[in-house]
Structure 1
Amino acid sequence: MASFSRRVLWSFSHVFRQSSPIFYKRHALCFFKGSWRQVLSVGLGASLCAIPVGQRSDPALSNESLIRRAASLVSDSTQTLLSQTTYALLESLTEYTKAVYTLLSLQKKYTALLDKMNSSEESAIWQVLIGARVQIKKLQEEYLRYEATWTRAVSLSEMAAEAAYQAGADHASVTVRNHIQLVQIQVQETRELALKAEALLAASQSEEIMKTITEDKNSPPDGGSPSEEVPEAYLRED
């Protein structure tokens, strides 16, 4: 039965080729043509996968020019990062400095009224002073965090400037280095203002402590001795 079916199929194909030779050849060519298209598409896909990501689209561009262009792009990106971190650090340092001067003002007022307050008034003012110190601590932690990020941004910018110089992108390298120098000056000036405020606050606190000790020695409480210890309010933790 199987042999009979093959004979019938062969006879049918033979008659088909004899009756329409052109039609048969055309479809055979279309079949092989389609097969080669499939093979070509597969081979082309495999070859495209091997093309590097950074391959130039313009044959006129050399590898050196592409590297210079990439180095310039990296320099621009690091400058953006450095600008943003510098702004955040300067703003944070400024807020911290303002808080220190606020505490300094409160400290001076407290010292001036030290011998004119009763215990309840002194306790109320100390609550305000403690709140101001907590705020200073919070702002200090914030600016230190921004300072660490800014330091990393400076380091990245320095590496980008060196990479641009090695790649021959001299303009980009000089621009980045000038930018680094500018922001370092700005940060240094703002940091010096904060340090000055801290020094004034420390001096005011020392003056307050010395005044308190002197007053306690000159006017000891009933049954006490002139060598009174520093009041408990000064021994509290912030």
Structure 2
Amino acid sequence: MAAPRRLIVCLNILRSSARALMSSRKPAVHKPGKLTSILYTSVASLSVGALCAIPFRQAETLSHDALIRRAASLATDSSSTFLSQTTLALIDAITEYSKAVHVLIALQKRYLESLGKLTPAEEDQIWQVIIGQRAQVNERQDEFHRFESTWMSAVKLCETAAEAAYASGADHASVTVRTNIQVARSQVEEAQKLSADADKKLAAAKVMEVKRMAQHATASRSNDDEEDVPEAYLRED
């Protein structure tokens, strides 16, 4: 009711101002074209400005429940985006770690097959490559675990957002984010199978390494041609 009253008052003031301006002019001089046009233009501009300045309430306001549901939906959207990005980063990290492990396994196999066939310089060169690859495996593993921790935080955030959305009545948003969690978990589990398989093969390669090194040492002693095995190679990872 206050807004319409202010509008009426403003219009009355504008009309009074217009009549005062028109009555202040001499009645004998009538140039309605230019003067009237300027006056009406000024009045129209003032009227538009006055109307824009008056705060009108929306005919249909949102309730607190509606605003909470909208906010909950936004929370599920942002948390789903966070989950999507961390899932992609984790899968890439797992893939790169698995590749690095397979390269290390191949290098170790090549080294063991070459025992007794290489010069000390060639053997040392291969060993330096193996050391560098082991460092890369450790680096990829650290990155893998770092993204895994962030991904788990994203999953928890999505679960909290889903619960909040359900409690506020935003059922569709809650169902959507829970579906996103299931998809993300499925994708990560598939990627983790790759890393688990790589770890399994690396463990088997280490067992084979110990056996081959023992056989090589025995053969060297029996032939009185024992060669020093690089001390760094015998160190544990």
- Same structural fold, with TM-score higher than 0.5 when normalized by the shorter chain: yes
Cα RMSD between the aligned structures?
Answer: 2.4
How far does the alpha carbon of each residue in 1:83-111 deviate from its partner, in whole angstroms, 9 at most, with x for none?
11111111111111111111111111111
> AA paired with 1:234?
Y
In structure 1, C-alpha distance between the alignment counterparts of 2:215 and 2:186, rounded to whole Å: 44
In structure 1, C-alpha distance between the alignment counterparts of 2:110 and 2:229, rounded to whole Å: 19
Structure 1 residues 115 and 159: alpha-carbon distance in aligned structure 2, compared to 1, 3 A threshold: same
2:101 aligned residue: 100
In structure 1, C-alpha distance between the alignment counterparts of 2:171 and 2:88, rounded to whole Å: 26
Structure 1 residues without counterparts, runs of 5 or longer? 1-55
2:49 aligned residue: none
Structure 1 residue 202: deviation in Å?
A: 1.6
Q: Which runs of 4+ in 1 moved over 3 A?
A: 56-60, 221-225, 228-231
1:234 aligned residue: 233
Structure 1 residues 102 and 224: alpha-carbon distance in aligned structure 2, compared to 1, 3 A threshold: closer
In structure 1, C-alpha distance between the alignment counterparts of 2:232 and 2:82, rounded to whole Å: 45
**Aligned partners of 1:213 and 1:230 also within 8 Å:** no
Match runs of 1:197-208 below 5 Å: 197-208=198-209
Structure 1 residues 224 and 99: alpha-carbon distance in aligned structure 2, compared to 1, 3 A threshold: closer
In structure 2, C-alpha distance between the alignment counterparts of 1:234 and 1:131, rounded to whole Å: 12
1:116 aligned residue: 117
**Aligned partners of 1:96 and 1:194 also within 8 Å:** yes
Paired residues in the alignment total 181
Structure 1 residue 58: deviation in Å?
A: 6.6
Match runs of 1:71-90 below 5 Å: 71-90=72-91
1:170 aligned residue: 171
Match runs of 1:35-184 below 5 Å: 59-184=60-185
Structure 1 residue 232: deviation in Å?
A: 2.2
In structure 2, C-alpha distance between the alignment counterparts of 1:96 and 1:82, rounded to whole Å: 21
**Aligned partners of 1:92 and 1:142 also within 8 Å:** yes
SS in 1 for 2:221: coil
> AA paired with 1:199?
K
Q: What percent identity do the matched residue pairs reach? A: 51
SS in 1 for 2:74: helix
SS in 1 for 2:61: coil
> AA paired with 1:208?
E
Structure 2 residues without counterparts, runs of 5 or longer? 1-56
Question: TM-score if structure 1 supplies the norm length?
Answer: 0.70
Structure 1 residue 223: deviation in Å?
A: 6.8
